[in-house]
Amino acid sequence: MIIVEGWVRLAAEEIERLRAAAVEMMRQTKATDPGCLEYAYAVDLAEPDLLRVIERWADQAALDAHFASPHMAMFRQAMAAATIEGASIKAYQGENIRVLMQS
């Protein structure tokens, strides 16, 4: 499993401007990308200019296919027009997963 986790810092008005594109990206990814186990963006409650990125993929091939998808190209275009003040997104190989909380 590939786990992608990170953040993008944007001006607060950029978060609102990108909201529709981000929601569509999540919808398209979940609906059409084989191997997508989880895909979400979330605005940090304590830092409203911070967009959190959380993804889980079955394998590297699934993540590579996602990067080549038409909806990724459209989202990259939307992000290219944004003022990004900082970012850090990393991929981890997750083979030893344990549940910390579940209900």
Q: Is 101 within the bounds of a domain?
A: no
The CATH number linked to 10 is: 3.30.70.100
Alpha-carbon span 35 to 91, nearest angstrom: 15
Q: Is 102 within the bounds of a domain?
A: no
Q: How many CB atoms within 10 Å of residue 25?
A: 21
pTM: 0.91
Average pLDDT over residues 3-32: 95
Q: Is 30 within the bounds of a domain?
A: yes
* 48 half-sphere exposure, CB direction, 13 A CA radius: 4
Average pLDDT over residues 35-52: 96
Residue 96 pLDDT level (bands cut at 50, 70, 90): confident
Q: What is the pLDDT of residue 67?
A: 98
Q: Is 98 within the bounds of a domain?
A: no
Average pLDDT over residues 13-41: 96
Q: What is the pLDDT of residue 13?
A: 87
Domain that holds residue 22: 2-93
Q: What share of the chain is helix, strand, coil (3-state, %, to 5)?
A: 40, 35, 25
Phi, psi of 76, rounded to the nearest 5 degrees: -60, -35
Q: How many CB atoms within 10 Å of residue 77?
A: 10
CB 26 within 8 A of CB 16: no
DSSP H/E element including 38: strand 36-43
pLDDT digits (tens, 9 = 90+) for 49-88: 999 999 999 999 999 999 999 999 999 999 999 999 999 9
